[in-house]
Structures are given as structure tokens and as C-alpha cells.
Structure 1
Amino acid sequence: MNNFKKNVSLFFKRYLLIILIYQLSRFLFYFINSKLLGSFTLDTFIGGLIFDFAAVSYINIIFLIAHLIPGNFKYNNTYQRILKISFFSINLLFIATNFIDIIYYRFTGRRSTFAMITAKGMRNEILGLIPSFLQEFWYIALIFIILSILFWKIIPDFSNNSFRKKLTTKDYSKKYLLFTIILACLLILGRGGLQKKPIRIVDGIKYSALTNTGLVLNTPFTILKTLAQKNDLDYTKYYNATELKSIYNPLISLNPTEMPTKKNVVVLILESFGNENIGRGQTPFLDSLITKSYYFKNGFANGKVSIDAVPSILSSIPSLMNNSFISSSYSLNKINGLPKILKKEGYNTSFFHGAFNGSQNFDQYAKVAGFDQYFGKDQYQGPDSFDGKWGIFDEEFLQFYSSRLSSFKQPFFSSLFTISSHNPYTIPKKYIGKFPKGTTRIQESIAYTDYSLMKFFKTAKKQQWYNNTLFVISADHTSAEGDRESDQTNIGKFRIPILFFDPSNPKLTGLSDKNFQQIDIMPSILDYLNIKTEMVSFGKSYKSKDNFVVYYLGGTYHYINDDFYLVFANNQTIGFYNWKKDTLLKNNLMSQNPAKVKEAEKFIKAYIQSFNDRVTNNQLTL
């Protein structure tokens, strides 16, 4: 069994080499993103090893078979050469995903899944952004290239034995037995141990703090775990139908006592305008507008990426799954958002996004949501203003937007999504040096978009529709580069500015302490306009006494109610904090407030079940 033993040894040397490379990529992940992560503890290291063994085992089962299946054919030089090249290529592809997430994690706050890397509507962005990413993060690409070369050079080669004896039935039996034992061991490593269920993405939280799950996990594991998912939501059954409705019911009935106002509605969604950029000298116009508006100082995003924000803001559908609603298997569900509701009231409806048509699937969403018209880069008319990567610069696209609004019959409902404060944060050459650089890379482009917003309002004020318009402004999500410690908590990562501005209503001003989220915008607009309607909404009106916020990230649900914040994962509460007093979330109050924890847990379970039931059963409309 001399050659067979050599093949066994060869496989395990190659296998352990991959494990070592995964460890190196994890340490690099930590080194590059240390400001976003907690401490690298022994538990983190052990948990990381468990997930690495799982991913590497799944990926290399085919190579185990190719190395150890009994038969003399394996000792052919051509066979061994093909086996080495295949082993190198496939494993390098998965290693590359770890390196990509070293940077991409900054923007999403989670490891990439299969759905994220195959999301539709991103082709143009990828082609435009890859060169800028390589230019900006060249050192990651360089390290990967060096690692790839070293990987190929140090992969152990098979040392062929010239003597091959004819195998007997006994030889085959021994080899098949050993092969079966090793395969069984690899399958156990692949499932993460002998426990009842294989390890899952959410199990990363067992080995580290909530902020460190991205460090425990590896991207090949999260991709493999989501590769064969047909649905984006799991079946949940915490309560029967009667109990569920008594705890939480997403049906909202608005019955105003006054006639509808028929005001125009303009919803402006600002790319990456998280709280970390507000009131720091980068946004003088928005800061000024806040003083004239009804401002929610405790505003929250319902997701971490742009594609989550649109259905949250315009259809009151939060992002409570690993895949964004727009790119999920439920993207064609019937929805009854602002476009359809306001169209019934006689409104003209439109959606504007200065990026390539098809970007983020917004054009598809616009159709499903019921918008009359979609305006992307292809529909833009005006001076040549392509930023070379992403789409039309905000200044010119906002001016184009103002002129289009003036052409619409009133009342109209329209929404625009800005783009210039998206990575790579390109601003027009004529403005380089005009705006303050700030303390993070994004803030110069934030200042440029704020300037573009100021020019838009300056133009809009001259239009006859201006005084009959409600303006709603919200960020889509926070940026990846908050420079304060509080910006990096799982509260800070979701805090955004949200404001309502009506130039004809001086009473709609002030500072609200209410916990307010993107999914609250839709019912709040309809309530403000005195529109009688019944709808499915997972948010609440600004006039409601409810004071909750719910968001989700990487298998973990986050629930805020009044001053308390609950973290829920794996069907259990793992954290409970007074987020207003304990801004850095250092003091877990689970054992001190069991009654409050139980009450909060009851609500979040009902909320999850209601969302999952309605999305999977296509019941987002009445």
C-alpha cells in the first residue's frame, strides 16, 4: 500500500495547507477591519477553525475521492497533474472570496452569501467599479497574487513509486475501508461535529461577540450554506393565529377626520448619509433644513445596503432575511406600497436613480411597486455628467429631476435615489478642493451631495409646485467609515437622519425623540396626507404611540423599544441593553430585567412570524 499511503499523506498535507491559508486570510481580515471588530480571542480562533474545517471539508470532498479511490490509475503522472491543477484552481477561487470580503465587509457588515454574489442588476456596476476598487485597494489584490503564487509553489507533489503491484481483493478491501473511514471523518468536520444539526451561519455567535461573527465565519462557508437555498425565509411557528394577532398585527387602518390634502410628495433617498456624517461640517444645507423640518433624531435604517432601503421606505417592507427583498425569490410578490396607494388618489408616480438602468434591480422594483415611470441614466437629459463609474453626478441629475417634476401633472409622488456618495466617492473635477475632506474618505463626496441638494432646493423653490409639496429625506444606510466608537456598535451601524419638510406648514417642525425607522415613512406620509386606507405595513405612523424599531443582520434580529434594545438569534435572546444610557452596549441587562426581556422577546417572535408568514404566502397586500 506504499503509493496509497503516499496519496493519503498527500491529501492531508494539501488539506492542512488550505486550512493554514484560511487562517492567514482571517488574520488579514482582522488587521484590515480591526476598528469594526472586537477583540480576537481564543474562542474566536477556535470558532474560526471549526468553520474553516467545515468549509474546506465540503469543498474538498471531491478531491478526497480523487486522491483515495482505490485503483492504480491514480498513480499516472497526467492524472496527478490534472488533480493538482484542479485542487489549486477550485480552492483558490474560494480563497478569493475571503479576500474580497476583507473590503466588502465594510459596506455590508456581514460575510457575503451566494445570493449577494449572484444578485441581478449589478452587471454594469461591477464592470465600472472593479477597476476603481483595484486601484483603491491594490494592496489586497497584491497580497492575493503573492499568496496565489506561493500556494502553487508549495502545494505538495506526488512522489511516484515506479513499482505497482497487482491489487488483490484483500488490498481493495483494506483500501476501501480506510477510504470510507477518512471520508466519514471529513463529513463530520464538514457538518461541524457530531451534534444533531450541522453548524449554520448564525452559530458564529456562539464563539464571539455579536460584532465579531464576521471574523469567526469565512466567506466560502456562507456561500456554500446559501448555495442551495430555494427560499430566503425559514418557517416559524411561535404562536397560533389568534395569539399572533393579539401580540402583533401588521394591518394598519387609517381613518382621518379631515379631507385628503392632495399635496405632492417627494422622497429623497441619500446614499450613505448615516448619522456619522451629520452635524460635522460636511452637510451645512441638510443641517439647516433639519431646523425647519420635523426631524427624527432617533432614525434607523432597516438594512445595511442600498437595495434594502427602497422597499423599506416606499413599501414598508423591512429586510429581515439574508437576501434583499428586491433580489429574493419573493421579489415578484404583490405589494401595495406608496405608488399604488397614491395612484388610487389620482397621483402621478415616478422613480429616479442616476445610475445605470437596471442598477440594483430598482427598475424591476419600480414596475412591481406600481410606479408609472422609471428614470435612470439612460433617460437623463442634460450636460454630459457621467462620473465614469456609476452614473450621473448628483448635481446635474437633481437639476434634471427638478425639471421633470415641473412637467408632471399634480398631484405627483416621486422618489429619487442619489449616487455620488457611493464608493469610489467620485466628485466632479471642478469641485476638487472646494469641499472639506472631513475625517473619513466618504465625507468629501457627502459634502458634494449636500451641495447638490442645496442647488436642487434652490431651483425647486422657484417652481409653482414647491409650496404644495411634502419633502421626505432619508439616508439609505450608514456609511462604512464612522470614526467614532459609537458608530461601530450594532445601534450606530443603523442610525440615519430622517426628516419631513413641508414649506407651507410651519407646524411640521421640531425634534422628535420617537424611535423611527424607514418602514415608518410610508404610513406616516399617508397619515399626514389624511388618506383613508388599509394596508399591510411592518412600520407605524409618526402619530402612533408605538415606539419600536426592528432590523436584521446576518442571522440576528435587533429590536428597539423605548430605551431598551434586544438582540435575538438562534431562537433566543442573547443581549438586552439600555441603549440610551449605555451607548457602547457594554452592560448586558438580561439577568437584571427578566420581565422586560420576556416581554420584548414575545414581540420580536410575533414580528418575525408575521413577516415570514406574509412574505412566504404572498400576503403583503389585503
Structure 2
Amino acid sequence: MFDQSFTLLLRRLGLLLALYMLLRIVFYLFNLSTFAEASPTTTLLAFVHGLRFDIAAVLIINGLFILLSLLPIGNTLAPTYQRILKWVFVLFNAPFLALALVDLEFFKFIGRRSSNELFTITDDIADQVGQLASYYWYLGLGFILLLLILVKFYPDVSPKKSTLPPVWLRCLRLLLVAGFVVLGIRGGLQLKPLRPNHAFVLQPSTLGHLTLNTPFTFIKGIGQTQLEEKHYFGTDEALLAALPFDPNRFVQPENPIQKENVVIIILESFSAEYVGALNEGKGYTPFLDSLASEGVLFRNAFANGRKSIEALPSILASVPSLMQDPFITSPFQANELYGLGTILEKAGYHTAMFHGAANGSMGFNNFASRAGIEEYYGLDEYPAALKSKDFDGQWGIFDEPYLQYVAHQLSELEQPFMATVFTLSSHQPYTVPAQYKGFFPKGDLEIHESIGYADYALKEFFKTASKQPWYDSTLFILTADHTQMSNVPAYQNELGHYRVPLLLFHPAKDISEIDPEQIAQHTDVLPTVVDYLNIPTDKVLPFGHSLLDSTDAAHALLYNGSSYFLVQQGKVAELTPDEQVRFYSFADMAPASPAPTAEQQLKAYVQYFRNGMSGNKLYFWLKR
């Protein structure tokens, strides 16, 4: 099996891996200031972790070369055949090496490894090719040097005569190699194939850019949606002036940091229409209703997306879902980002996330790391002795045992802490444990029974949590990731598709002065936590506002796949794909007279989001 054709293939692919590592070293030196905060040890780990992405990129690019090298028929060591192989090797790899070289400088402009945005600027590059070539002459020189290395050090066939294995063995070898190639491209046996956000596992998170390589991010970006920039406002200053937002709003809090714990509970598929406290007592959530009577339940709260994968960026990083692709899987997933974990870590907080599904599900573990969350507890971390008994047969651990596990695990965390908990039992197929069959109302929809079970699990969680030493010094924030099936006409409209519960509860404090009638949304969670704890930071995005501050302009931002919506108290503005602006009254969505301020704000939010994402400048004021 390890004849000359196979060893030649390994040596040739090894040459590419060596070049990729060399390019990573040069990339590091060109962008040294970006990684200045990282220790030598974590920087070295970023280099080592990068091998995983290098292997994936090399295998994707060289799939045809590998097949031709190990073709089970004919003499693959013949001189003519080997010359053809060499041309295939050089022609397939040279363009991607060129991309990696370009990123030595382009990274300084966009702050991330290049993706398919290069397709959108090809005309500009063509127009400026002469100027660019003269200004960045050293990149051209570097490319020539790389080509020379590629050709000069390309392993050639040994003059010593070599016998090829029999055809059956070559066929078997090709099948085995194909399996390893698929494994290498996937990045391992984990649940989800390797994606750019898997690189952001070290702190500081900027090391993820060092771990990645440009060929990998470019390939992963092919076919993904790009955002066309908008220019309703000519300057950044004009854009900020149109928004009810001050980047320095939380820079110097009036009071010292309040070192209380925060627990954010995200309830799977808990539409507002299932909550009795929001529907004159008609619902399936008796415990959540009772909690609402002791806390603040916002009557006009919205998710910023329609999927679970869209909820986490909105809640933990204040990034709404205003594009076709979820942020977690979008071409912009490697953009500069400051999540709640990153902000709280500076204030001495310990952070963790709990989700009872398989590690890697929806990329939650990797995004949690990107948001600065230190520890992730998924299905892999759940006690092995209990796993088979508590597994729901589909997604993960049933809510009741999992939330009990979370309650006790929180007691192991060093205070102050911020923990995020994501439930799952009310997800399709809405499985209820056998011992609770018939225990909860069946309702009119198949999800209703599982909502009752999840609400009961929540009740048991709070019963256990109330006995823990951290309970009385904890702010609880409860919401749902998104809505689900509906049978209530009042919710079967554009806004109803996004209505979720959002509840603030503190067992030892009176927070009743907070206005429950204000518009609320997922992106409000981060600024609300920052405001409540008096955390000094300049890294809060404009898409949300603090629910504690009645002087802020409360709003919600929604995107239905074609139109953008700005929801404010009394009015709704819609920006259509053909740039028409329509106005409605809130909440019946009846046509209304124009609201010029709402129109300007909606256009400002859209421009801020689209241009900030495509140019990786969501936090552009930090660079002033």
C-alpha cells in the first residue's frame, strides 16, 4: 500500500501544509498588533490548531490531484503522467496561495480572513490593477517565490524502479484514502463539519483569524449570501446622528459595578401565544405566569429572528438577524464581535452556557466561545451514568433532569457568574417523558403538551435554585428563542410571528418600576445586563437598548426575508426590497400616515447593519 505513488502523494501534500504554515507565520508578522494581547502559549496553540483548517483546505483543493495520483489503473509513475500531475498540482494550488498572500494586507482593511466578498470587488480590482500591483509589489514578489518553491521542491519520482501494487489493492487503498479525505475535510468526527467559527476557541478571540487560512474561508464562502451596502447617509457621523444611540452610553456608569449573578434562560419555541399571562390567562405556562406576577413581563416583546440559530447572536451579542443567513453560519461569522461574555470577563465574571443537546448542535458551542463564554456544558458534559435514562431519544436531555443538573452545576461556579441556559424539550417532535404522559393539557396543537412539560421543568428548576447560595443575588432573564405553530388569529400576522415572552425576575429585589408596556427585543438583553450591573464598556451595538432606561427609544428590528421592520410604540415602519417605505399603526398593522423620523431610523439601522457586516465595521467608533 505504501508504494512510491502513495509516499509521493503524502510528501506533496506535506509540502502544501508547510507552505500554509509558512504563510500563517508571515500573516502573524504582518498583523502583529492584532494579536498583541495573546500570550506566547495561546499563540502557539493557535498555530497548532490551524493545522486542522490547513488539512481541510488542502484536501478540498486537491481532491482531483489525489484521485489522479492514486488512480487504480495504468502506470501512474510514467514520466508523462507525472508531468501532467505536476501541472494539475501547480495550477490548482497557485490561485489559493495567491489569495493567502493578498490577505496579508487585505485583512488590515476588513479585519477578517477573506471570503466570497472578493467576488463583489473584482471590477474595482480590475480598474486599479496597475496601481495595486505597484503599491503592493512585494506581494507579487512573494507569489513568484511561492511558485518557485512549489515547483522546485515538488517531490519527483525516484529514478529507482518501483513496482505498483495489484489493481485490487490500489482500489482498496483509494477507498480508504477517500474516507480519510472526507474526514479531513469535515475536520474530524464532530457533529457539524468544520466551519470558520470553529477557529474561535482561544482567548483573545482574535486568534481565530490566525488559526484560519484564507483558502478555507474563501471556499466556505462560495455560494453564501453577500450584503449589498446601502448609502442612505453619506458619513458615519450622519449615520450615528440618525440613530437613538450613543457609543459612550455605558462608558462611565454613575454607580460602581454591581457584582450580582445573571442567569439567562432561553425557552425552546415558547411563543407568546402559549403564555397565559400574555393572553388573559389562556395558555399552557402556569409557572411562568406565576413568575410574571413577581417580576416584569414585557407585553410587547419580539425575537429578532425565526430560528434557534438566530437567537443566540441576538441575545448574547446584540446582533439581530437582518439577513438571509444566520450570523453563525454566514460569511461574516469571523467578524469582530464583543459578546456578553467578553464584556463581563473584564469585570471579573465567570461565564458558562448550558444546552442539553449534542455538542456542536447549531454551532452553539463555537458561538458561545466567540461571545466570550468561558465554559460550555453540552450533552458530552452531562453525567454519563444518567445520560441514557434522561435522553429524549431525539435531541438531548429532557428539560426536567437537565435543569436540575444546571441548578446544581451553577453552585459550582465561582461568583459572580453569568450563565445562559437553552432548553429543548418543546422542540419538534415535542416528546414528553413517559411518566408525564397525560399530566399536562394536550391543547389544540401538538406542541402544547410539551410546553406544559417545559414549564413544569422550569418550576422544578426554580424550586431547586431557590435553595442555592447564589439565588438571592441573581437577576433572571427568561425569553424564548422564537415562535412556533399558531392557532390564535391575533398572532397570525407579520408581528405575531416574532412575539415571544421576555421576563425579568429578581427574587430579592423590587424591579416593578420597569415599564412592561415598552417594546422589547432579544438585542435588548445585552445592554440591559450591562446597565443593570453598571459595567463600563464601549462595546454595545446600537440595535438594542436597556430595558431599565425609560429615556431610551424602545424599538424592535425584524426581517422577514424580504422587508425590514422597525417596531416602535404606536407605529411600525417597513422598508421593502424596492426601497419603498410603508407605515402601519401598532399593533394592528393598519395603514398609517408617514412617520419621517421612523423612516430615517429604519434606514439608518439597515445601513449600519449591512455596511457594518460587509465591511466588518460594526464597532467602527472604536477605531476613531
TM range (shorter): 0.5 to 0.7
1:245 is matched by which residue type in structure 2? Answer: L
Aligned to 1:616: 614
Aligned to 1:180: none
Gaps of 5+ in 1: 1-118, 127-225
Structure 1 residues 230 and 284: CA distance shift in structure 2, 3 A = closer
Residue 572 of structure 1 and its aligned partner are, at CA, apart by: 2.5
Structure 1 residues 476 and 459: CA distance shift in structure 2, 3 A = same
Is residue 291–residue 510 contact of structure 1 (8 Å, CA) maintained in 2? no
TM-score by length of 2: 0.61
Structure 1 residues 511 and 617: CA distance shift in structure 2, 3 A = same
**Runs of 4+ in structure 1 over 6 Å off:** 119-123
Aligned to 2:229: 235
Is residue 353–residue 418 contact of structure 1 (8 Å, CA) maintained in 2? yes
Counterpart pick for 2:564 among 557, 566, 571: 557
Is residue 299–residue 495 contact of structure 1 (8 Å, CA) maintained in 2? yes
Kindly indicate whether residue 429 of structure 2 is the aligned counterpart of residue 438 of structure 1: no
Aligned to 1:345: 347
Aligned to 2:591: 588
Aligned to 2:297: 295
Is residue 306–residue 483 contact of structure 2 (8 Å, CA) maintained in 1? yes
Residue 230 of structure 1 and its aligned partner are, at CA, apart by: 4.5
**C-alpha deviations, 1:214-257, integer Å up to 9, x for none?**
xxxxxxxxxxxx99644432211111113212102573521322
Instruction: Measure the CA separation in 1 of the matches of 2:357 and 2:248.
Output: 34
Instruction: Measure the CA separation in 1 of the matches of 2:528 and 2:223.
Output: 35
Residue 620 of structure 1 and its aligned partner are, at CA, apart by: 3.5
Counterpart pick for 2:465 among 432, 446, 460: 460
Counterpart pick for 1:568 among 571, 575, 583: 575
1:392 is matched by which residue type in structure 2? Answer: I
Residue 121 of structure 1 and its aligned partner are, at CA, apart by: 13
Residue 562 of structure 1 and its aligned partner are, at CA, apart by: 1.6
1:352 is matched by which residue type in structure 2? Answer: F
Aligned to 1:506: 510
Instruction: Measure the CA separation in 2 of the matches of 1:357 and 1:517.
Output: 27
TM-score by length of 1: 0.61
Is residue 341–residue 373 contact of structure 2 (8 Å, CA) maintained in 1? yes
Kindly indicate whether residue 385 of structure 2 is the aligned counterpart of residue 385 of structure 1: no
Kindly indicate whether residue 274 of structure 2 is the aligned counterpart of residue 277 of structure 1: yes
Kindly indicate whether residue 254 of structure 2 is the aligned counterpart of residue 251 of structure 1: no
Q: Secondary structure at the match of 2:438?
A: coil
Counterpart pick for 1:539 among 532, 541, 544: 544
Aligned to 2:530: 526
Counterpart pick for 1:605 among 597, 603, 606: 603
Counterpart pick for 2:474 among 469, 475, 478: 469
Residue 575 of structure 1 and its aligned partner are, at CA, apart by: 3.3
Q: Equivalences for 1:63-462 in 2 at 5 Å?
A: 229-241=223-235, 242-248=237-243, 249=245, 251-254=247-250, 255-279=252-276, 280-381=282-383, 383=386, 384-462=389-467
Residue 569 of structure 1 and its aligned partner are, at CA, apart by: 1.2
Instruction: Measure the CA separation in 2 of the matches of 1:231 and 1:492.
Output: 27
Structure 1 residues 502 and 380: CA distance shift in structure 2, 3 A = same
Structure 1 residues 379 and 561: CA distance shift in structure 2, 3 A = same
Structure 1 residues 408 and 228: CA distance shift in structure 2, 3 A = closer
Is residue 120–residue 361 contact of structure 1 (8 Å, CA) maintained in 2? no
Q: Secondary structure at the match of 2:249?
A: strand
Is residue 295–residue 509 contact of structure 1 (8 Å, CA) maintained in 2? no
**C-alpha deviations, 1:403-422, integer Å up to 9, x for none?**
11000110011101000001
Instruction: Measure the CA separation in 2 of the matches of 1:230 and 1:570.
Output: 19
Residue 566 of structure 1 and its aligned partner are, at CA, apart by: 1.6
Residue 547 of structure 1 and its aligned partner are, at CA, apart by: 2.0
Aligned sequence identity (%): 41
Q: Single out whichever of 391-400 and 539-548 deviates more from structure 2.
A: 539-548
Q: Secondary structure at the match of 2:524?
A: helix
Residue 334 of structure 1 and its aligned partner are, at CA, apart by: 2.2
Instruction: Measure the CA separation in 2 of the matches of 1:125 and 1:459.
Output: 34
Residue 486 of structure 1 and its aligned partner are, at CA, apart by: 1.8
Is residue 232–residue 323 contact of structure 1 (8 Å, CA) maintained in 2? no
Is residue 121–residue 359 contact of structure 1 (8 Å, CA) maintained in 2? no
Q: Secondary structure at the match of 2:390?
A: coil
The alignment yields a C-alpha RMSD, in angstroms, of 2.4
Instruction: Measure the CA separation in 2 of the matches of 1:307 and 1:328.
Output: 11
Aligned to 2:177: none
Gaps of 5+ in 2: 1-185, 194-219, 277-281
Is residue 264–residue 419 contact of structure 2 (8 Å, CA) maintained in 1? yes
Q: Single out whichever of 537-546 and 299-308 deviates more from structure 2.
A: 537-546
Aligned to 1:100: none
Instruction: Measure the CA separation in 2 of the matches of 1:526 and 1:478.
Output: 26
Aligned to 1:493: 497
Q: Single out whichever of 528-537 and 368-377 deviates more from structure 2.
A: 528-537
**C-alpha deviations, 1:370-390, integer Å up to 9, x for none?**
111111111112632111111
Counterpart pick for 1:517 among 521, 527, 543: 521
Residue 439 of structure 1 and its aligned partner are, at CA, apart by: 1.8
Aligned to 1:86: none
1:609 is matched by which residue type in structure 2? Answer: Q
1:337 is matched by which residue type in structure 2? Answer: G
Structure 1 residues 605 and 258: CA distance shift in structure 2, 3 A = same
**C-alpha deviations, 1:156-201, integer Å up to 9, x for none?**
xxxxxxxxxxxxxxxxxxxxxxxxxxxxxxxxxxxxxxxxxxxxxx
Instruction: Measure the CA separation in 2 of the matches of 1:122 and 1:571.
Output: 45
Is residue 350–residue 417 contact of structure 2 (8 Å, CA) maintained in 1? yes
Instruction: Measure the CA separation in 1 of the matches of 2:248 and 2:322.
Output: 20
Structure 1 residues 466 and 525: CA distance shift in structure 2, 3 A = same
Q: Secondary structure at the match of 2:583?
A: strand
Residue 324 of structure 1 and its aligned partner are, at CA, apart by: 0.4
Instruction: Measure the CA separation in 1 of the matches of 2:526 and 2:188.
Output: 25
